[in-house]
Amino acid sequence: MSLLVIGSVAFDAIETPFGKTDKIIGGAATYISMAASYFADRINLVSVVGGDFPVADINRMENMGVNTKGLQIKDGEKSFFWSGRYHNDMNSRDTLVTELNVLGYFDPVIPEEYQNCDYLMLGNLSPDVQLKVMERIHNRPKLVAMDTMNFWMDVALDDLKKAMKKVDVLIINDEEARQLSGEYSLVKASRVIRDMGPRYLIIKKGEHGALLFYEENVYFAPALPLEDVFDPTGAGDTFAGGFVGYLASQDRVDFEHMKRGVIFGSAMASFCVEKFGTERLQDLQMDEILHRINAFIDLTQVDISLTS
Amino acid sequence: MSLLVIGSVAFDAIETPFGKTDKIIGGAATYISMAASYFADRINLVSVVGGDFPVADINRMENMGVNTKGLQIKDGEKSFFWSGRYHNDMNSRDTLVTELNVLGYFDPVIPEEYQNCDYLMLGNLSPDVQLKVMERIHNRPKLVAMDTMNFWMDVALDDLKKAMKKVDVLIINDEEARQLSGEYSLVKASRVIRDMGPRYLIIKKGEHGALLFYEENVYFAPALPLEDVFDPTGAGDTFAGGFVGYLASQDRVDFEHMKRGVIFGSAMASFCVEKFGTERLQDLQMDEILHRINAFIDLTQVDISLTS
């Protein structure tokens, strides 16, 4: 099934305790598309870059099965640029530079051939843009998933709430869930947030795994204990891409498939953090992906038969 | 099988965002013994209290199946007392009072009828006392598990290392594992620590679950997502008690049973935090324990069949 992906395509410059990069490609939609490309048949990208964005990187995405017809290229202008430095524990970072550039006035255009998309992933962007995308698609997709961040809760809460009413799955981290709900307990937070619209809620906890809430059910997927996290940039977007890409590949929307999607997302995120930026996502083999997914399953496998 | 438990039996005064207590009973060995009493046949307690300790609480432990013959009672002296205040997030706390009292010169005496114990749980105490207990037991138990804390790493690292050489399972939290190993990555930390002695290592991550390491294997058990954590005091000791109590009840020492033990420990800890102190551990029914264990299993249950 086809997957429509909206989000930033950008430059990042990253500094971690293991080293630093010059400008490399990044952006939520880049990570989402690359991760999803291993599963979904067709990925249709909607985003915007400046004329400074390397054509080689656009071609690489095309070669990975990402349709870039919806990637607007603004000649003579600059792509979105973010630069950050991670602390030693890799769980916190300082933003050094944020230049919105072409993303500051992004008006998403949906090419005609993208209409009738089956699955829609709204990567982290202004809720106003996320709303515009949903308005400009003629038929509602089978599934709409959305990411957001605390910044939008601070500056655009009304639009965010409008967007949330229209989505099936919200994917956020624990800190964002607490801010959005005003509840510290994630169980309580999950109820408040699902009352705002999304039937399914995924709360990412970084190295501590992810929780999936649906009706009275909760599913927990661990993160794989890793030797080292080399660069966490894009891990959350990669999770979302693996998750929604898996669902699109199976074309099933129910709790059981969502659980499997969370494992696929976690597995893809565990690759992402092994190298800088998108490097590790560019040339994965399906064998190693399945091997990694089996490692996730083994991690929580236990044989207890109980009768109560 | 019989289980020998060493650790503090004490008074606590606890303040959480939900309320505060006067002096109530606490102490590592109290939580361990109570949690283990639901599984192990015989629990033999070695500890020390002052004459101020209520006989009713000693009788309650006896009624739960805990042999208190090894509980020394120092008339005219005072029991160990700890008082603390939890912050709003329940993940950090301030110690308000620590009065060692009788625990300051605790010389553990093993009653003759405690000899030939099958399983030994060394609750958090001075490594010097933990070593004395191991020396004073004539035959090595089938399994020796040990808890410790960062305080002993600071003030008694040599003794701690001596004790670690003699134990099968070490149970510590993530912060302690990092301090003990000098490694931030828990995967790397687990290797360094197992090289110090214990074949099995359990790293508790509080609300984020627990990891069990053995040879090249790792098992992850989540914590149950709870509406509220009312009082986290004793949760780690309760985990250890449920874990070692389950192993003693099954009388099997292998990775599969350790995994199940981690789930039993996690389930008991999830009860512990629902009320102040030991209150919730005093009158559990086996039905509700098994029901809770099933909830843990459901939490990570997923049906994926993959061939790679």
**Contacts with A220 from chain B: Cβ below 8 Å:** 209, 222, 225, 299-300
Task: Judge contact between A47 and A72, C-beta under 8 A.
Answer: yes
CA distance to partner chain A, nearest, from residue B17 (Å)? 12
Does B182 score more than 60 pLDDT?
Answer: yes
> What is the structure's pLDDT at B308?
44
**Contacts with A209 from chain B: Cβ below 8 Å:** 208-209, 222
Range in A150-154, B177-181, B297-301 with the lowest mean pLDDT:
B297-301
> What is the structure's pLDDT at B119?
98
Q: What range defines the domain where residue B70 resides?
A: 2-300
Among B187, B259, B290, select the one facing A306 at the smallest CB separation.
B290
> What is the structure's pLDDT at A21?
95
> What are the pLDDT digits (tens) for B244-270?
999 999 999 999 999 999 999 999 999
> What are the pLDDT digits (tens) for B72-94?
999 999 999 999 999 887 778 99
Contact A291 B302 (CB under 8 A): no
**Contacts with B290 from chain A: Cβ below 8 Å:** 306-308
- For B218, residues 6+ apart whose C-beta sits below 8 A from its C-beta are A225, A299, B187, B190, B211, B212
Rounded average pLDDT over B165-192: 96
Contact B225 A187 (CB under 8 A): yes
Q: Structure pTM?
A: 0.93
Is the residue at A187 inside a domain?
A: yes
**Contacts with A259 from chain B: Cβ below 8 Å:** 302
**What chain B residue is nearest to A190 in terms of C-alpha separation?**
B227
Contact A297 B302 (CB under 8 A): yes
Rounded to the nearest 10°, the torsion over CA A229, A230, A232, A237 is -100
CA distance to partner chain B, nearest, from residue A130 (Å)? 31
> What is the structure's pLDDT at A307?
52
> What are the pLDDT digits (tens) for A210-235?
999 999 999 999 999 988 888 999 99
**Contacts with B303 from chain A: Cβ below 8 Å:** 256, 260
CA distance to partner chain B, nearest, from residue A305 (Å)? 9
Is the residue at A205 inside a domain?
A: yes
At residue B307 the predicted structure's pLDDT band, cuts being 50, 70 and 90, is low
Does B121 score more than 60 pLDDT?
Answer: yes
Contact B218 A225 (CB under 8 A): yes
* Residue B158 token pair: 């040599």
Is the residue at A11 inside a domain?
A: no
CA distance to partner chain A, nearest, from residue B304 (Å)? 7
Residue ranges of the alpha helices (H) in chain A? 28-36, 55-63, 127-136, 150-155, 157-164, 174-181, 186-194, 235-250, 255-272, 286-300
Range in A81-90, B86-95, B112-121, B176-185 with the lowest mean pLDDT:
B86-95
**CA–CA dist A121, A247 (Å, integer):** 11
Rounded average pLDDT over B190-202: 98
Beta-strand ranges (E) seen in chain B are 2-6, 10-16, 19-20, 24-26, 42-50, 66-74, 81-86, 93-99, 119-122, 143-147, 169-173, 200-204, 210-214, 217-221
Is the residue at B306 inside a domain?
A: no
Is the residue at A239 inside a domain?
A: yes
Average pLDDT per block of 10 residues along chain A, 308 residues long: 97 93 96 98 96 97 97 98 89 90 96 96 97 96 97 97 98 96 95 98 94 97 89 96 97 96 97 96 96 93 71
CA distance to partner chain B, nearest, from residue A67 (Å)? 28
**Contacts with A211 from chain B: Cβ below 8 Å:** 225
- For A201, residues 6+ apart whose C-beta sits below 8 A from its C-beta are A169, A170, A172, A177, A190, A193, A194, A212, A213, A214
> What is the structure's pLDDT at B88?
80
The angle formed by the CA atoms of residues A177, A183 and A185, to the nearest 5 degrees, is: 85
Is the residue at A252 inside a domain?
A: yes
Rounded average pLDDT over B6-10: 98
**Contacts with A185 from chain B: Cβ below 8 Å:** 226-229
**What chain B residue is nearest to A228 in terms of C-alpha separation?**
B185
Among B209, B225, B302, select the one facing A259 at the smallest CB separation.
B302
> What is the structure's pLDDT at A308?
44
Among B188, B293, B306, select the one facing A294 at the smallest CB separation.
B306
Task: Judge contact between A226 and A235, C-beta under 8 A.
Answer: no
Number of domains in chain A: 1
Rounded average pLDDT over B173-181: 96
Q: Please report, for the domain that includes residue B218, its CATH number.
A: 3.40.1190.20
CA distance to partner chain A, nearest, from residue B259 (Å)? 7
CA distance to partner chain B, nearest, from residue A63 (Å)? 24
> What are the pLDDT digits (tens) for A134-182?
999 999 999 999 999 999 999 999 999 999 999 999 999 999 999 999 9
Is the residue at B307 inside a domain?
A: no
Is the residue at A149 inside a domain?
A: yes
Backbone angles phi, psi at A298, to 5 degrees: -60, -35
- In our burial notation (b when 16+ CB lie closer than 10 A, e otherwise), range B142-169 reads bbbbbbbbeebbeebeebbebbbebbbb
Among B225, B228, B259, select the one facing A302 at the smallest CB separation.
B259
Among A184, A299, A303, select the one facing B220 at the smallest CB separation.
A299
Among A184, A220, A304, select the one facing B260 at the smallest CB separation.
A304
> What is the structure's pLDDT at B219?
97
Give ipTM to 2 decimals: 0.89
Q: Percent of chain B scored above 70 by pLDDT?
A: 99
